[in-house]
Structure 1
Amino acid sequence: MQINNEIIIQQTKNWLEKAVIGLNFCPFAKAPYVKKQVRIQVSHAKHLDAFLQDLDDEIQLLLHTPAEEVETTLLIQPTLFNDFLLFNDVLEFADQAIADNQAEGIIQIAPFHPHFQFADTQADDIGNYTNRSPYPTLHLIREDSIEKASQAFPDASVIFERNIALLEEMGHAGWQALFPEQKENS
């Protein structure tokens, strides 16, 4: 059963608005989102090769589109990578796609997943929720944007530490209150 693109995009926007922007996980996300410069693309690829073609297409789109039109892209794949370890393995292919498209130093990828787990953490560690999204998602980010953002926040680790502290204060109950439609550890 294929999920409707509108539902996937709306759930992703909800996550962006409530967590990424609402909790200020990423202080740089609000401006491009409000300016409608965030592209949200859903891949319905049925196998890895087709997904990697979708990724190539999105990389090329960013390379050939001014940032004023599309600042960043979220490429969502709602069906292929439900297992986080498999998704994590795909990141090597994603990094290779950056190289293959001559986009090194221009675009980088940040991963988000419903079961995201940082190394050396437990699956239910609340800190993992900084990178938990409704669906497996690759965030294609222009490195110029990161450079500009780092001028405002030269020590990005402060943002990560603040996010962890906020999540620890909220706890799982606070996250569930923010996203009641999501089942805990689903």
Structure 2
Amino acid sequence: MKVTIIDYNAGNVQSVLFALQRLGVEAALSSDPETIRSADKVIFPGVGEANTTMGYLRERGLDEVIRGLEQPVLGICLGMQLLCAHSEENDTECLGIIPQQVVRFKPKEGEKIPHMGWNSIYNLDPALFSPELEKEYVYFVHSYFVESGPYTIATTDYVQPFSAALRKGNFMATQFHPEKSGAAGAAILQQFLNL
């Protein structure tokens, strides 16, 4: 199985590579369109700022490469947000694959932004989550989120309920970091690899 991680200067690439290695998978890290298109599975990770990242993708034509992918694709954190239509983060037009909006948390008193730490996920879709992961804890770091909607395949609560994961067709995505989420995260990555 050929797994490619899209290389676009995202901050969490090494931890994703290591998480896959722990599962016995040697993934390629590449920004080459043909390498990405020919992969069996594609991972679109991300830590960073939406507008700068979208600019980087457009300059290299990677936005069109990603939109055209037909194999299973997993977006992680910023990667999930960039799969959506628009982000409030610097008023960014995103890839538009999942027609959802990315909005900034509006915390109440005592609630800190960014949302950072372990939260449980629930209402899990079996496409990406085995039933025993219901209410398991996974690791989040983010200031922007996607509200629950028709493409939500997992939910979590911080400030309000929101999408912990999304899916549209072959595109799946998690707001949390499966590569930093211990056994639960490893199980989610393995289920993605098994698709």
When the two structures are superposed, what TM-score results if normalisation uses the length of structure 2? 0.30
Structure holding more helix per residue: 1
Task: Flag the structure with higher strand content.
Answer: 2
Instruction: Give 1 or 2 for the bigger CA radius of gyration.
Output: 1
Normalising by the residue count of structure 1, what TM-score does the alignment of the two structures yield? 0.31
Q: Which has the higher contact order (CA 8 A, sep 6+)?
A: 1
